[in-house]
Structure 1
C-alpha cells in the first residue's frame, strides 16, 4: 500500500519547506535589523567626523582655524570633542578636548589609538585631512571599539530584544503552520479514526476518501464488509441452530415429562426422566440465552420498549418459580421498598424478565446443595438522576475476591467481543446476557460477594415514577 508513505512523505516535505521558509524569514529580519542599526547608529560617527572636518577651515595659512555653527552644535549634542593633529604629531586645533588629550603625539601614539579606537580611554574616530589627522572623541559609555570598528553600546543592549523578536517570529510561523497542518491532517485522518471506532464497536462503515488516503479508506471498507458478512453468517448459524434444536428438544422434554408423571413406570425410571427433562430445559435456556446475547451484541434485536411496573414484574417471576415446583433445597423471597412500589421502568419487559430469571437460575445452578435466594427492589437517587436497583442475592458458596474479579473481567470482555468456546467458565453466558440486557437499557450490573458468604448481583436501571 503506497498511499500511506506518500502521505507522510508530503508531510516531511512540508516540514522541510517550513524550515527553509523560517531560515529565509530569519535572514530577512537579520538584514533589516542590521540596516536599521547601521543607519541609526553605526553610520553616525562617520557622519559626525565628516561634518566636523567640513566645518573646520584653516585660516592665515594654517595658523588658526575657524569652527562653529552646526558642527559645533552637533558635537555638543553628542557630548563629543575634537582634535586636529598635524603631520609631525603636534596639536594644531582642539574643541572641548579633555586636558589629558591636549598634547603632542608621537607616531607610536597615533598608531595605537588608530588601531584600538581609544584615545585616553575614550572611543575615538579618525578622519584624514590634507593638514593632518582629525580625531573626534565620544563619551566612554557610547561605543565599544573593536579594532577600528565601533559598536554602539545602546545597539548592543538591544541585541536580546532582537533575538526575542526573531524567536517570536519563528514561533509565530511554527504556530500558524501547526494550526494549518493540524487542520489538514485532522481533515484527512478524522474519517479514518471515526471509521475505526465504529468498526471496533461492531458497526458497518463506509469511508469515502480521495487523495493519498483513498486506498486506506478502500481497505477499511473491505474489512467492514468482511466483518459484516461474518457477523451475518454467525447470526444465521445461531438462529438456524436454535430453530433446529427447538423441535427435537421439545420432543425430548415432552416424552421425559410424560414418563416422569406416569405412575405405572418404576420410580427409578421416573427420576431419570425428571433429570432428562430438567437438563433438557437447561439446554433450551442456554440456546435462548445464546440467541438473545448474539442479537443484542450486534444490535440486531430492537428493544420492544414499553412501560414496565418493576414491582409487578418481580412478583410475577417469583410466583412462576414457586408454582413451577421449586426444589425444597431453595427458598425464594421478595422484598420491595415502600418507595419502590410504583416504580415504572421504560424498557423491554421480556428481556428484563429474562435478566432477573437468569440471576435467580444462576444462584440455583451454582449452589446445588441449596441456598436462600432473595430478590429485592429499591429506589435510588443520585442528584437529578433517578434509577431503580434490582438485587438478587443468595446465601450459597459465593466466590473468592480474585475469582470475582476474574468473573467481572470475563463478563466485560464478553460484552465487548464474542466469547470463545475455550473460554467457557462458571457463571458465563447467563451473566453475559444479563449484562448485555442491562447495558441495552442504559444501566450497569455490579457483582459482590465472598467465599462462603454468597453472591450479590445488583442491576441499576434508569427509571421514572408511574
Structure 2
C-alpha cells in the first residue's frame, strides 16, 4: 500500500504549490493594477511643481507654458489663494463656476485633506500663498482621516504573516476534508488491483466516488476466478485422462511385447519372421518409453509428481548416469567422454536423485536419437557463482538458430493449444525442463563448442 501515501503526498504538494503560486499571482496583479491606476504620478508632487512654476510680475501671476499644458492635458484646474487676503488671486481658465473665490482657515484645512465641491484637491506651498489643484471628480479617492494606530502599523508584517498562515491552514483543512472521501475510496481500489495480480478473489464495496471502478474490478475478479476454476478443471481432466490412457495401454502393450519376445526367440520361425518380431519388440519398447515420458511430463506439469529432495553430490549422480550408459553396451558409433575437472570433487546440491538422473539420461539419449550416424557425447560438471552446471554436448548435426530459439522460448504442446499441427516430437527436453524447474534451476539450449548440440542444466549450490 505504498502508493496511497504517495498519492496523498502528491495531493498535498499540489495544493501547497497552488496556494503559494496563487498568492504570488494575486500580489503581482495587485501591484500592476495599482501602478496602472496612477499614470500621472503623485498629485501632491504635481501641485508643488505648479507652486514652484507660478511666477509673479507687474501684471500678476503667470504659470509657465509647459506646466500649463500639463494641467490642460490632464483636465486639472488650479487656483492660488493669497495668504494676506485669503482670496483667489490667480486661476486657470477651466476653473468650474461652483468653486468659491475666498476661503477661511477651516476651508483650507478641509480642502487640504478632502474635496472642494466633490473635486479631489491637492495643495502646494508657494511664497505668498497656497496653490490648489482640482482633479476630475472620479479620478481619486481621498482618505479624510489619515491616521493609524502605531501598534497596528508596527505589527503589520506579523499580522499579515499570521493571516496568511491561517488562510493556508484553512485551505489545507478544506482540501483534506473535500478529498477525504476520495482518498478513502482509493485505498480499497488499490488493494483490489494488487489482489487481482495474485489471482486472489476480490470484492470491493460498490459505493463512494469510485463506485463504477469498484464494480468493474469486481466483475474482472469474477471473470478471472471463473477462468481459473475452468482451467484447473481442464488441467485435472487432462492429467486424469493421460494417467488413465497410460494405465490402460500398459497391459495390452505388455502382452504384445511378451508374445513378440517369444516369437523373436522361436527357432522354428524363419530368420525374416524373427527379425520382424525384433522390430515389434523395439517399437513396443519405444511406445512404452513414450507412455512413461508422457505420464511423467503430465505429473510434473500439474505438480502431481512427488519430489523427494536430499543432499547429494551432483558429480557422483551424473557420473553414475554415464557409467550406466557405458554398461548398457551402447552402439559403437556413440562414445561418451567425461570432461569434469579432476580438482572438482564435490558439488553439494539438494535434489531428487532419481529425477536428476532421468534428466541427464534424457539428454544423452536425445543426442543418440538425433544423430543416427553416430557422435561423440561430452559430459561435465562445472561450479561458478554459487551455481553448479551440468553440460551435455555432442558433435553431431546440431540445430539451426531458429530451432534453438524455439526450444528455449516456445511452450510445449502440452501447455499450449496453438499450432498443434506443428507439435514437436518427443517429450525428452520437456521433461528435462520440468525437472530442472521443480529444483528452482535453469535450462539453456545452445550450439556446442564441438559443432553440435548442447544443453546446460544449472542448479543452486547447497551451503
TM-score calculated relative to the size of structure 1? 0.61
Query: Against the structure 1 CA distance between its residues 269 and 149, is the aligned structure 2 distance closer, same or farther, given a 3 Å change threshold?
Result: farther
C-alpha distance in 1, partners of 2:53/2:408?
A: 96
C-alpha distance in 1, partners of 2:231/2:42?
A: 89
Gaps of 5+ in 1: 1-17, 47-78, 85-93, 116-125, 138-146, 151-165, 196-204
1:455 corresponds, among 453, 456, 462, to 453
CA displacement 1:215-239 (0-9 Å, x = unmatched): 3322222222111111110111011
Shift of 1:332: 2.3
1:381 corresponds, among 362, 381, 384, to 384
Partner of 1:356: 360
Does structure 1 conserve the Cα–Cα contact (< 8 Å) formed by 2:448 and 2:454? Answer: no
C-alpha distance in 2, partners of 1:293/1:259?
A: 33
The answer to whether 1:82 aligns with 2:48 is no
Aligned length: 348
Shift of 1:96: 6.7
Query: Against the structure 1 CA distance between its residues 275 and 179, is the aligned structure 2 distance closer, same or farther, given a 3 Å change threshold?
Result: farther
CA displacement 1:122-145 (0-9 Å, x = unmatched): xxxx964149752479xxxxxxxx
Does structure 2 conserve the Cα–Cα contact (< 8 Å) formed by 1:262 and 1:270? Answer: yes
Secondary structure of the 2:440 match is: coil
Does structure 1 conserve the Cα–Cα contact (< 8 Å) formed by 2:394 and 2:448? Answer: no
Shift of 1:330: 1.5
CA displacement 1:307-364 (0-9 Å, x = unmatched): 2222222232223323334122222232332243222221111211111111111111
C-alpha distance in 1, partners of 2:187/2:456?
A: 46
2:238 corresponds, among 234, 256, 275, to 234
Partner of 1:425: 424
Partner of 1:12: none
Secondary structure of the 2:330 match is: coil
Partner of 1:436: 434
2:308 corresponds, among 304, 310, 324, to 304
CA-atom RMSD in angstroms: 4.7
Does structure 2 conserve the Cα–Cα contact (< 8 Å) formed by 1:444 and 1:460? Answer: yes
The answer to whether 1:129 aligns with 2:116 is yes
Does structure 1 conserve the Cα–Cα contact (< 8 Å) formed by 2:443 and 2:457? Answer: yes
Query: Against the structure 1 CA distance between its residues 29 and 187, is the aligned structure 2 distance closer, same or farther, given a 3 Å change threshold?
Result: same
Secondary structure of the 2:297 match is: helix
Equivalent residues in 2 for 1:163-174, closer than 5 Å: none
Partner of 2:74: 113
Does structure 2 conserve the Cα–Cα contact (< 8 Å) formed by 1:398 and 1:452? Answer: no
Gaps of 5+ in 2: 1-10, 56-62, 77-112, 125-137, 142-167, 207-214
Does structure 1 conserve the Cα–Cα contact (< 8 Å) formed by 2:393 and 2:448? Answer: no
Equivalent residues in 2 for 1:322-333, closer than 5 Å: 322-333=326-337
Secondary structure of the 1:308 match is: strand
Does structure 2 conserve the Cα–Cα contact (< 8 Å) formed by 1:400 and 1:451? Answer: no
C-alpha distance in 2, partners of 1:324/1:419?
A: 39
Moved more, 450-459 or 311-320: 450-459
Shift of 1:365: 0.9
Does structure 2 conserve the Cα–Cα contact (< 8 Å) formed by 1:252 and 1:280? Answer: yes
C-alpha distance in 2, partners of 1:338/1:461?
A: 20
Does structure 2 conserve the Cα–Cα contact (< 8 Å) formed by 1:415 and 1:436? Answer: no
C-alpha distance in 2, partners of 1:291/1:415?
A: 11
C-alpha distance in 2, partners of 1:453/1:248?
A: 43
1:257 corresponds, among 253, 261, 271, to 261
Does structure 2 conserve the Cα–Cα contact (< 8 Å) formed by 1:192 and 1:207? Answer: yes
1:218 corresponds, among 219, 222, 237, to 222
1:268 corresponds, among 267, 272, 278, to 272
C-alpha distance in 2, partners of 1:437/1:429?
A: 12
Secondary structure of the 2:198 match is: helix
Does structure 2 conserve the Cα–Cα contact (< 8 Å) formed by 1:209 and 1:217? Answer: no
TM-score calculated relative to the size of structure 2? 0.62
Secondary structure of the 1:361 match is: helix
Which one has the largest radius of gyration?
A: 2
Query: Against the structure 1 CA distance between its residues 210 and 182, is the aligned structure 2 distance closer, same or farther, given a 3 Å change threshold?
Result: closer
Shift of 1:186: 1.6
Does structure 1 conserve the Cα–Cα contact (< 8 Å) formed by 2:188 and 2:204? Answer: no
C-alpha distance in 1, partners of 2:335/2:25?
A: 93
C-alpha distance in 1, partners of 2:192/2:421?
A: 41
Equivalent residues in 2 for 1:171-210, closer than 5 Å: 183=187, 185-195=189-199, 205-210=200-205
Query: Against the structure 1 CA distance between its residues 180 and 30, is the aligned structure 2 distance closer, same or farther, given a 3 Å change threshold?
Result: farther
Does structure 1 conserve the Cα–Cα contact (< 8 Å) formed by 2:192 and 2:203? Answer: no
